[in-house]
Structure 1
Amino acid sequence: MNKLQIGTHTVTDWSNFIREVLEYWVIRNSPTKLGGIDKIVEIDEAKFGKRKYNRGRIVDGEWVFGGLERSSKKVFMELVPDRSANTLLQMIKRKIEPGTTIVRLLEGL
């Protein structure tokens, strides 16, 4: 901000724009499947959205489920209609190879 002489609102707007572009790219260019024997894939879900008046908890948004293969750093992200066990298990079967060690990230990390 200081070197470019731009305000905090401009930095926030650009950060949000870059986040949206990266999210769009990752969702459309995710590999078919991650993992395999002796591979570890970390999984998690998050809600991407906006805050009402830029304060407090996220009100509007979409749930995204994703994974990271530790050894290759390959990732996948997919929009999910809900976070039910059935929906997430179907996605795990579709995006992660059998025999993979799956680690779910814990809240608050």
Structure 2
Amino acid sequence: LIVNVASACGFTSQYKGMQALYDAKKSDGLVVVGFPCNQFGGQEPGTHQEIASFCEAKYGVTFPMMAKIEVNGDNRHPLFAELCKVPDHEGREAIKWNFNKFIVREDGSVERYSHRTAPSDLPL
């Protein structure tokens, strides 16, 4: 499960659900990876250490948190360039907001879910 995340977003509480999924399913092989991004409303302004400390202290996050990246535009991270080839429910490739979710299955298939989809509602 790959998610673009932010610490000052209305959806930041989804970290709790992401951690719950990770705790429940990591022994089955689920990996949750957070990719901080500051492209939406400037809601992830911190350094990597500040972000990691916030997530651990506030939500008990133990899943991997990557360095801050861009998920749209000319400087989009190559991983998100590939993931975004799967359009969202509106047919858009670009990411609309924080906490978009991508499930990458063992066979390499990708499923994309909106920031409004709670982690507990994902088909995992």
Give me the TM-score of the superposition, normalised by structure 1: 0.33
Give me the TM-score of the superposition, normalised by structure 2: 0.30
Compare the two structures and name the one with the higher strand fraction. 1
